[in-house]
């Protein structure tokens, strides 16, 4: 947890409340939360080397303290399958952000291993003024906004309670497997919920966690987009 505390303290000291995604994954690592392989790069040359090392296909994401919702400004490009495509995508990413977000601070770019499709779910947490740390689970991607399919529990929680939380959502029916699809790994999803609950419970500076989407597979699951917001406690 020392590494996570250092990351949070440094960002707060720099006046940042939004933890850069690549550092959010470093925090995830300490809490046993699975995520794709990635590298944070500052130039297109570093980026092509990172993509080769990770293996195509890859995803590109802008890293900027001024851009929280990356997709809104064209700050995410997926399905990059070659060095030539990477170069074009990198330039497109920078152009998109310049056109749609204006003159913002750009720290660099996250090169992330593209993950196979799975059942999209979401988990996260927030700090409620009345109840304290709370963990959320529900349908992922844009479905979380469309269907409001979420269930909440007080954190920390155990695996049995996490499984009951999953069963409280419509996502549970899809995770069980529909139309011949293999069922998803409920144990792995429940463990992710438990570890997300630990994360928001043990690091008091964390105000909000948003892991969306999470890809659930027949064997394991993976957080493919991570947002952590912190706040200095008085």
Categorize the per-residue pLDDT at 233 as very low, low, confident or very high, splitting at 50, 70 and 90: confident
Segment 18-32, tens digit of pLDDT: 999 999 999 999 999
What's the pLDDT at 163? 98
The terminus-to-terminus CA distance of the chain in angstroms comes to 21
Categorize the per-residue pLDDT at 234 as very low, low, confident or very high, splitting at 50, 70 and 90: low
Which two three-digit tokens encode residue 159?
Answer: 């695996």
Asked whether the beta carbons of 36 and 224 are under 8 A apart, the reply is yes
User: Quick count: other Cβ atoms within 10 Å of Cβ 9?
Assistant: 13
Beta bridge partners of 20: none
Residues carrying CATH 3.30.1490.20, the chain: 2-113
Overall average pLDDT of the 48-77 stretch: 95
At residue 142, does pLDDT exceed 80?
Answer: no
Residues carrying CATH 3.30.470.20, the chain: 119-230
User: Where does 119-230 sit in CATH, by number?
Assistant: 3.30.470.20
Residue with tokens 């293996």: 55
Asked whether the beta carbons of 222 and 200 are under 8 A apart, the reply is no
Overall average pLDDT of the 61-70 stretch: 92
Instruction: Say how many residues make up the chain.
Output: 234
Beta bridge partners of 97: none
Average pLDDT, the chain: 95
Segment 164-183, tens digit of pLDDT: 999 999 999 999 998 888 99
Residue with tokens 């470093």: 26
User: Where does 2-113 sit in CATH, by number?
Assistant: 3.30.1490.20
Categorize the per-residue pLDDT at 2 as very low, low, confident or very high, splitting at 50, 70 and 90: confident
Which two three-digit tokens encode residue 160?
Answer: 């049995």
Q: What are phi and psi of 32, to 5 degrees?
A: 65, 30
Which range, of 37-46, 86-95, 144-153, averages the lowest pLDDT?
144-153
Categorize the per-residue pLDDT at 232 as very low, low, confident or very high, splitting at 50, 70 and 90: confident
- What's the rounded Cα separation, in Å, for the pair 47 and 43? 6
Which two three-digit tokens encode residue 5?
Answer: 């505390």
The three-state secondary structure class of 194 is helix
The three-state secondary structure class of 65 is coil
DSSP string, 90-117: HHHHHHHHHHHH-S----EEEEEEPPPP
Pairing mode, if any, of strands 206-216 and 150-154?
Answer: unpaired
């Amino acid at each position: 947890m020392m590494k996570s505390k250092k990351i949070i303290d440094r960002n707060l000291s720099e006046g940042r409340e939004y933890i850069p995604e690549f550092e959010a994954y470093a925090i995830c690592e300490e809490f046993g939360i699975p995520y794709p392989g990635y590298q944070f790069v500052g130039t297109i040359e570093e980026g092509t080397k990172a993509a080769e090392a990770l293996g195509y296909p890859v995803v590109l994401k802008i890293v900027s303290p001024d851009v929280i919702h990356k997709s809104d400004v064209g700050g995410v490009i997926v399905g990059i399958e070659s060095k030539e495509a990477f170069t074009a995508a990198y330039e497109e990413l920078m152009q998109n952000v310049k056109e749609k977000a204006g003159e913002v601070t750009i720290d660099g770019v996250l090169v992330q291993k593209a993950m196979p499709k799975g059942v999209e779910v979401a988990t996260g947490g927030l700090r409620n003024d009345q109840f304290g740390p709370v963990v959320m689970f529900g349908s992922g991607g844009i479905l979380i906004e469309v269907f409001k399919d979420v269930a909440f529990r007080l954190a920390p929680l155990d695996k049995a309670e996490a499984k009951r939380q999953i069963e409280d959502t419509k996502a549970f029916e899809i995770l069980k497997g529909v139309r011949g699809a293999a069922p998803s790994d409920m144990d792995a999803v429940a463990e992710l919920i438990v570890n997300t609950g630990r994360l928001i419970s043990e690091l008091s500076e964390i105000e909000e966690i948003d892991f969306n989407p999470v890809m659930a597979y027949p064997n394991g699951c993976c957080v493919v987009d991570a947002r952590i917001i912190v706040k200095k406690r008085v």
